[in-house]
Structure 1
Amino acid sequence: MTDTLNLSDTRTWLPLDGLAPGFDAAKAELTDDLAGRTFTTVDERGAQTAYRFDADAVVWESGAESGRDDVEVIEVDEALYYAQYTPAAHPDTAVTLILDLRSGYALTVVSALGSAEPGRTAVQMSFTPARIAELEAHGEAPAPTDELIGRRVLWVYSTVHAYEHVYLSPHWYSWHCLAGPEQGLADTDENTVWRVRPGIYVFTWREKVIPCGSVTIADHRDQKALRAHGVLFGADESNSGATHFTFGAHGRLLSNTVHPLEYDPARPLER
């Protein structure tokens, strides 16, 4: 990176495809633990989606729709699984399924690629907590949380790629590239955080400059040895379709800001 590079010129920022090479170096090994098993998620409205897993594919059925798609499954923690797939019938969407076989709860995040417009990022996400019909539900269901607010974390994705995250509020976080093809770039984007287990969070973001978003599941229990798994999903370089890739990261807590109660970013907004 040279001193003459204009970091503020967002026209020069890499498309999502340009970030991909080598970004998956820290990805965890896939597992076939779920092969041969079927799980049915039931949300608060009673809507059901059935998933039957093969070694490298998932057969799903939701209402009148069904499909069989390639899937990647990672064991995040004991009996806690992250599954990622893109429905062939809906190539502009990506589905993240979190299955907690210990608690009997699930969380589905659907990322959909559209067009950015004022007040709306190109990638939009929906979050659906559910119970797993085949299991007895106990403990806490996944829920939105503000527990990450104030933390500054270093995430290393490969020997080339490193970023820091600062979790600012229930709506915003800042990222800063410390190493890699985006070195020196930084921005503040939308985020949404859910807690799935104590110390384990589904952290998502949606960028406004590059039409993309990410869904990650991050284990923050050991502040010196954080671990994350996730997907980046968004428009390809030609802007004519969607692209995605999965990745992993190792991290550590750099610092933690504790705000006075009267300035707590998680307090209700005043109008």
Structure 2
Amino acid sequence: MNAQTEWVQVDALAEGFAKEANILEHVNDLTGKTFILHAEDMAISHHFESEKVLTWEVLDGVEKGAKGQGIYKATCLREGIYFVDFVKEEEFAASASIVLNLAEEKATIVVGQMPSESEAMRPIYQRVKSGELLTSVQVDILQCSIGKPFGEMSGHEETEELVGKRVQYEYSPHEYYEHIYLNSNYYTWHCMKGVERGLVETDKCHHFKVADDLFLFVWREKVIPTLGIIMIDLSRFKTTGKILGFDGTEFKKINNFPVGAKASILNETEHHIE
């Protein structure tokens, strides 16, 4: 029996994904533009100063006056719909990912926070006893309108349209995974080829519908603290997004790397429950 762990740290995952990756190229469409995103209880301005740098500032709400900047990556999966991602340098191990749906004047912000070492080291059973989620990765998901006050139809709604689907993702010729979308809160991932080959886990997730056959999917892993945020286009059969985690086991440096995949639907399950 092999007593050595099979689990892979995020830096090794990033290295495995990097070669011949199926990621979308960065686009410069947003350069020079400013978008004010209105959430239910706050407004945040995002100004794309250059092809690489954006600045943000909270204009209204309890965090009014908070500001920062980041080196961003922007990809465009469909015309007028962008995925923007950057590390929040002013905070510990945090990132922000934004879906900008310009055609519908809607946006979703996902702020991710990696755990401290002490939080990551807490036993899962202790979390169960305390009534907490099993994952130590935190997210704050804000639904927003773009350039107008927050209203009933602002942002992107949660969806169950992925539930029951089993989808294969080719991140590169060397990295193949499948996702099984079990319900609105949990999914199972399985590495069929790559650095995590043979590993399987069921983790916490969140699903949002951006447009027809276009979804924002967020997951939080519990074994190795990991945050994944991707947009899934089941018309183009393509994804774009990122994975965030720690570089190694020291909890001092993060690795935030882009991902993209070719997608194919393997099957779809329909449950018959009376």
> Shared fold (TM-score greater than 0.5)?
yes
- Answering whether residue 104 of structure 2 is matched by residue 90 of structure 1, we say no
- Answering whether residue 257 of structure 2 is matched by residue 257 of structure 1, we say no
Letter in 2 for 1:51: H
Aligned to 2:245: 234
* SS of residue matched to 2:204: strand
Letter in 2 for 1:100: N
Q: In the aligned structure 2, how far is the partner of 1:157 from the partner of 1:136?
A: 36
Relative to structure 1, is the Cα distance of residues 244 and 209 closer, same or farther in structure 2, using a 3 angstrom cutoff?
same
Aligned to 2:258: 246
Aligned to 2:61: none
* Alpha carbons 1:85, 1:94 under 8 Å: kept: yes
Quote the offset at 1:87 in angstroms.
1.4
* SS of residue matched to 2:104: coil
Aligned to 1:194: 208
* SS of residue matched to 1:102: coil
Q: In the aligned structure 1, how far is the partner of 2:158 from the partner of 2:273?
A: 20
Q: In the aligned structure 2, how far is the partner of 1:85 from the partner of 1:237?
A: 20
Cα deviation 1:131-187 (Å, max 9, x = unaligned): 011699997740111110000000000010000110001111111111011111111
Q: Which runs of 4+ in 1 moved over 3 A?
A: 134-141
- For structure 2, which runs of at least 5 residues remain unmatched after alignment? 59-63
Percent of paired sites with the same residue: 29
Q: TM-score, normalised by structure 2?
A: 0.86
Quote the offset at 1:69 in angstroms.
1.2
Q: In the aligned structure 1, how far is the partner of 2:96 from the partner of 2:273?
A: 37
- Answering whether residue 46 of structure 2 is matched by residue 51 of structure 1, we say yes
Q: TM-score, normalised by structure 1?
A: 0.87
Aligned to 2:11: 17
Quote the offset at 1:91 in angstroms.
3.7
* Alpha carbons 1:104, 1:136 under 8 Å: kept: no
Relative to structure 1, is the Cα distance of residues 176 and 66 closer, same or farther in structure 2, using a 3 angstrom cutoff?
same
Q: Which of 19, 34, 41 is equivalent to 1:38?
A: 34
Cα deviation 1:89-128 (Å, max 9, x = unaligned): 0141110011011000100001111124413312111110
Q: In the aligned structure 2, how far is the partner of 1:162 from the partner of 1:193?
A: 21
> Number of residues paired by the alignment?
252
Letter in 2 for 1:234: G
Relative to structure 1, is the Cα distance of residues 212 and 136 closer, same or farther in structure 2, using a 3 angstrom cutoff?
closer
* Alpha carbons 1:103, 1:136 under 8 Å: kept: no
- For structure 1, which runs of at least 5 residues remain unmatched after alignment? 263-271
* Alpha carbons 1:218, 1:229 under 8 Å: kept: yes
Quote the offset at 1:209 in angstroms.
0.8
Q: In the aligned structure 2, how far is the partner of 1:249 from the partner of 1:77?
A: 15
Q: In the aligned structure 2, how far is the partner of 1:250 from the partner of 1:137?
A: 35
* Alpha carbons 1:107, 1:129 under 8 Å: kept: yes
Aligned positions of 1:121-136 closer than 5 A: 121-133=135-147
Letter in 2 for 1:235: F
